[in-house]
Protein backbone atom coordinates (compact mmCIF):
# COMPACT_ATOMS: atom_id res chain seq x y z
CA UNK A 1 0.00 0.00 0.00
CA UNK A 2 1.75 3.10 -1.27
CA UNK A 3 0.86 5.90 1.16
CA UNK A 4 2.87 8.51 -0.73
CA UNK A 5 2.54 8.64 -4.51
CA UNK A 6 4.29 10.54 -7.23
CA UNK A 7 2.30 9.73 -10.33
CA UNK A 8 4.69 11.31 -12.82
CA UNK A 9 7.80 9.16 -13.19
CA UNK A 10 9.47 11.86 -15.28
CA UNK A 11 9.20 15.52 -16.23
CA UNK A 12 11.06 17.55 -18.85
CA UNK A 13 11.27 21.35 -18.60
CA UNK A 14 13.13 24.08 -20.47
CA UNK A 15 15.80 26.02 -18.61
CA UNK A 16 14.36 29.18 -17.06
CA UNK A 17 10.80 27.85 -16.94
CA UNK A 18 8.93 26.58 -13.90
CA UNK A 19 9.14 22.94 -12.82
CA UNK A 20 6.16 21.60 -10.88
CA UNK A 21 6.50 18.23 -9.18
CA UNK A 22 3.44 16.69 -7.61
CA UNK A 23 2.86 14.33 -4.73
CA UNK A 24 -0.28 12.76 -3.26
CA UNK A 25 -0.71 10.99 0.03
CA UNK A 26 -3.39 8.87 1.62
CA UNK A 27 -2.64 8.97 5.36
CA UNK A 28 -4.32 11.98 6.97
CA UNK A 29 -2.13 11.50 10.06
CA UNK A 30 0.99 12.72 8.25
CA UNK A 31 2.02 16.01 9.86
CA UNK A 32 5.28 16.84 8.11
CA UNK A 33 6.34 16.64 4.49
CA UNK A 34 9.77 16.83 2.90
CA UNK A 35 11.30 16.92 -0.56
CA UNK A 36 14.63 15.26 -1.32
CA UNK A 37 16.73 15.48 -4.46
CA UNK A 38 18.90 12.60 -5.63
CA UNK A 39 21.67 12.64 -8.20
CA UNK A 40 22.92 9.34 -9.65
CA UNK A 41 25.47 7.59 -7.44
CA UNK A 42 24.67 9.90 -4.51
CA UNK A 43 22.33 9.68 -1.56
CA UNK A 44 19.18 11.80 -1.32
CA UNK A 45 19.76 15.42 -0.27
CA UNK A 46 17.21 17.30 1.81
CA UNK A 47 15.70 20.19 -0.14
CA UNK A 48 12.74 21.73 1.65
CA UNK A 49 10.00 20.77 4.09
CA UNK A 50 6.59 21.91 5.27
CA UNK A 51 4.57 21.34 8.39
CA UNK A 52 0.92 20.37 8.08
CA UNK A 53 -0.08 23.58 9.83
CA UNK A 54 1.19 25.59 6.88
CA UNK A 55 0.18 25.71 3.25
CA UNK A 56 3.34 27.20 1.76
CA UNK A 57 7.05 27.28 2.45
CA UNK A 58 9.57 29.06 0.29
CA UNK A 59 13.35 28.81 0.10
CA UNK A 60 15.01 30.64 -2.75
CA UNK A 61 13.95 29.08 -6.05
CA UNK A 62 12.05 26.30 -4.28
CA UNK A 63 8.50 26.56 -2.96
CA UNK A 64 6.42 23.76 -1.52
CA UNK A 65 2.63 24.02 -1.43
CA UNK A 66 0.43 21.83 0.74
CA UNK A 67 -3.30 21.26 0.18
CA UNK A 68 -4.40 19.18 3.15
CA UNK A 69 -8.01 18.80 2.03
CA UNK A 70 -6.82 17.29 -1.25
CA UNK A 71 -3.92 15.42 0.42
CA UNK A 72 -1.66 16.90 -2.20
CA UNK A 73 1.62 18.74 -2.19
CA UNK A 74 3.74 20.18 -4.91
CA UNK A 75 7.26 21.48 -5.34
CA UNK A 76 7.79 24.47 -7.59
CA UNK A 77 11.24 25.28 -8.92
CA UNK A 78 11.59 28.62 -10.66
CA UNK A 79 13.60 29.38 -12.65
CA UNK A 80 14.66 25.82 -13.46
CA UNK A 81 18.35 25.24 -14.10
CA UNK A 82 20.14 22.30 -15.79
CA UNK A 83 21.76 21.49 -12.42
CA UNK A 84 18.30 20.79 -11.05
CA UNK A 85 18.12 17.65 -13.20
CA UNK A 86 17.77 14.81 -10.70
CA UNK A 87 15.24 12.45 -9.14
CA UNK A 88 12.96 14.22 -6.67
CA UNK A 89 11.41 12.25 -3.82
CA UNK A 90 8.47 13.44 -1.79
CA UNK A 91 8.38 12.08 1.78
CA UNK A 92 5.92 12.23 4.64
CA UNK A 93 5.98 11.41 8.34
CA UNK A 94 3.65 11.31 11.31
CA UNK A 95 5.74 12.67 14.17
CA UNK A 96 2.93 12.01 16.58
CA UNK A 97 2.78 8.38 15.58
CA UNK A 98 4.34 5.30 17.10
CA UNK A 99 7.20 4.89 14.68
CA UNK A 100 7.96 8.38 13.33
CA UNK A 101 8.77 6.61 10.09
CA UNK A 102 9.56 8.62 6.95
CA UNK A 103 7.61 7.30 3.96
CA UNK A 104 9.01 8.09 0.53
CA UNK A 105 7.20 8.41 -2.77
CA UNK A 106 8.45 6.64 -5.87
CA UNK A 107 10.27 9.66 -7.24
CA UNK A 108 10.05 11.90 -10.30
CA UNK A 109 12.98 12.25 -12.68
CA UNK A 110 13.30 15.92 -13.65
CA UNK A 111 15.24 16.80 -16.78
CA UNK A 112 15.93 20.50 -17.34
CA UNK A 113 16.87 21.12 -20.95
CA UNK A 114 19.37 23.92 -21.69
CA UNK B 1 30.66 16.32 0.07
CA UNK B 2 28.13 14.50 2.16
CA UNK B 3 28.49 14.73 5.94
CA UNK B 4 27.48 11.10 6.29
CA UNK B 5 30.24 8.81 5.06
CA UNK B 6 29.58 5.26 3.94
CA UNK B 7 32.10 2.57 3.11
CA UNK B 8 32.59 0.73 0.89
CA UNK B 9 30.98 2.44 -2.10
CA UNK B 10 30.59 -0.85 -3.91
CA UNK B 11 30.53 -4.41 -2.58
CA UNK B 12 30.19 -7.73 -4.38
CA UNK B 13 29.70 -10.75 -2.16
CA UNK B 14 28.76 -14.37 -2.47
CA UNK B 15 25.84 -15.90 -0.66
CA UNK B 16 28.10 -17.58 1.90
CA UNK B 17 30.20 -14.50 2.67
CA UNK B 18 30.14 -12.32 5.76
CA UNK B 19 30.68 -8.62 5.18
CA UNK B 20 29.92 -5.33 6.92
CA UNK B 21 28.76 -1.94 5.73
CA UNK B 22 29.99 1.06 7.69
CA UNK B 23 28.54 4.51 8.25
CA UNK B 24 30.00 7.48 10.10
CA UNK B 25 28.75 10.98 10.93
CA UNK B 26 30.31 13.74 13.01
CA UNK B 27 27.40 16.16 13.14
CA UNK B 28 26.45 15.19 16.69
CA UNK B 29 23.27 13.57 15.45
CA UNK B 30 21.67 11.14 17.88
CA UNK B 31 19.53 9.15 15.44
CA UNK B 32 20.94 6.94 12.69
CA UNK B 33 19.14 4.93 10.05
CA UNK B 34 19.63 2.17 7.50
CA UNK B 35 17.55 2.31 4.32
CA UNK B 36 17.46 -0.07 1.37
CA UNK B 37 16.72 1.16 -2.13
CA UNK B 38 16.04 -1.06 -5.14
CA UNK B 39 16.17 0.31 -8.67
CA UNK B 40 13.32 2.68 -9.55
CA UNK B 41 11.85 2.28 -6.04
CA UNK B 42 11.78 4.65 -3.06
CA UNK B 43 14.14 4.13 -0.10
CA UNK B 44 12.65 1.71 2.43
CA UNK B 45 13.44 1.94 6.12
CA UNK B 46 15.24 -1.03 7.69
CA UNK B 47 16.49 0.07 11.13
CA UNK B 48 16.59 3.14 13.35
CA UNK B 49 18.95 3.75 16.24
CA UNK B 50 18.18 6.52 18.69
CA UNK B 51 20.80 7.41 21.30
CA UNK B 52 22.69 4.23 20.34
CA UNK B 53 19.72 1.98 21.04
CA UNK B 54 17.74 0.14 18.37
CA UNK B 55 14.34 1.77 18.28
CA UNK B 56 12.87 0.46 15.02
CA UNK B 57 13.39 -2.83 13.18
CA UNK B 58 11.10 -2.99 10.16
CA UNK B 59 10.85 -6.79 10.27
CA UNK B 60 14.17 -7.13 8.52
CA UNK B 61 15.48 -10.72 8.05
CA UNK B 62 18.12 -11.78 10.56
CA UNK B 63 20.74 -12.09 7.82
CA UNK B 64 20.99 -8.29 8.28
CA UNK B 65 22.35 -7.36 11.69
CA UNK B 66 22.77 -3.70 12.67
CA UNK B 67 25.21 -2.42 15.26
CA UNK B 68 25.76 1.03 16.73
CA UNK B 69 29.15 1.01 18.52
CA UNK B 70 28.89 4.70 19.44
CA UNK B 71 26.92 7.80 18.57
CA UNK B 72 28.97 8.45 15.42
CA UNK B 73 29.12 4.97 13.93
CA UNK B 74 26.57 2.60 12.49
CA UNK B 75 27.35 -0.79 10.99
CA UNK B 76 25.28 -3.29 9.06
CA UNK B 77 26.58 -6.85 9.25
CA UNK B 78 25.64 -9.09 6.35
CA UNK B 79 25.62 -12.89 6.34
CA UNK B 80 24.13 -15.50 4.02
CA UNK B 81 22.48 -12.92 1.78
CA UNK B 82 20.36 -13.75 -1.24
CA UNK B 83 20.69 -12.30 -4.76
CA UNK B 84 17.45 -10.38 -4.21
CA UNK B 85 19.20 -8.47 -1.41
CA UNK B 86 21.24 -6.68 -4.07
CA UNK B 87 20.41 -3.00 -3.71
CA UNK B 88 21.71 0.42 -2.69
CA UNK B 89 22.04 0.57 1.09
CA UNK B 90 21.73 4.09 2.44
CA UNK B 91 22.73 5.32 5.86
CA UNK B 92 21.19 8.49 7.26
CA UNK B 93 21.34 10.53 10.43
CA UNK B 94 19.23 13.22 12.05
CA UNK B 95 19.52 15.45 15.10
CA UNK B 96 16.87 13.42 16.85
CA UNK B 97 14.35 10.80 15.87
CA UNK B 98 10.85 12.02 15.49
CA UNK B 99 11.04 15.79 15.61
CA UNK B 100 10.45 18.27 12.86
CA UNK B 101 13.28 20.60 11.81
CA UNK B 102 15.40 17.45 11.98
CA UNK B 103 15.57 16.20 8.41
CA UNK B 104 17.54 13.12 7.51
CA UNK B 105 21.01 13.57 6.08
CA UNK B 106 21.92 10.68 3.79
CA UNK B 107 25.23 9.19 2.82
CA UNK B 108 25.97 8.26 -0.78
CA UNK B 109 25.20 4.62 -0.14
CA UNK B 110 26.85 1.27 -0.69
CA UNK B 111 25.93 -0.50 -3.92
CA UNK B 112 25.68 -4.15 -2.92
CA UNK B 113 25.63 -7.02 -5.39
CA UNK B 114 25.04 -10.55 -4.11
CA UNK B 115 26.16 -13.27 -6.50
Instruction: Summarize pLDDT for A7-66 with one digit per residue, the tens.
Output: 999 999 999 999 999 999 999 989 899 999 999 888 999 999 999 999 999 999 999 999
Alpha-carbon distance of B92 to B100, in angstroms, equals 16
CB contact at 8 A, B88 and B110: yes
Using CA coordinates, name the residue in chain B closest to A4: B42
Q: Which residues of B touch A51 (CB under 8 A)?
A: 100
- pLDDT in the model for residue A102: 87
Determine what percent of chain B is predicted with pLDDT higher than 70. 95
CB contact at 8 A, A7 and A22: yes
- pLDDT in the model for residue B45: 93
Q: Which residues of B touch A43 (CB under 8 A)?
A: 2, 4, 6, 90, 92, 106-109
> Are residues A43 and B97, on separate chains, in Cβ contact within 8 Å?
no
> Are residues A106 and B41, on separate chains, in Cβ contact within 8 Å?
yes
Out of A105-109, B36-40, B57-61, B100-104, least confident range: B100-104
Q: Best interface-test mutation with A: which of B36, B103, B107 has the largest number of A CBs within 10 A?
A: B103
Residue A7 touches partner B, C-beta closer than 8 Å: no
DSSP letter at A11? E
CB contact at 8 A, B76 and B90: no
- pLDDT in the model for residue A41: 81
- pLDDT in the model for residue A70: 97
Of B92, B98, B109, the CB nearest to A100: B98
> Are residues B98 and A44, on separate chains, in Cβ contact within 8 Å?
no
In which band, very low, low, confident or very high, does the pLDDT at B2 lie, cut at 50, 70 and 90? Answer: low
Residue A62 touches partner B, C-beta closer than 8 Å: no
Alpha-carbon distance of A22 to A13, in angstroms, equals 14
Amino acid sequence: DQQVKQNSPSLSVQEGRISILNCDYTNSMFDYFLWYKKYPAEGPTFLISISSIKDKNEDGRFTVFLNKSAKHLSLHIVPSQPGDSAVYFCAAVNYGGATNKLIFGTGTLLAVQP
Amino acid sequence: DTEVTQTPKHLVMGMTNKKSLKCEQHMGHRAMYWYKQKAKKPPELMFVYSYEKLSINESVPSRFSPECPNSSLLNLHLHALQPEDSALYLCASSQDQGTNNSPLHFGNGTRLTVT
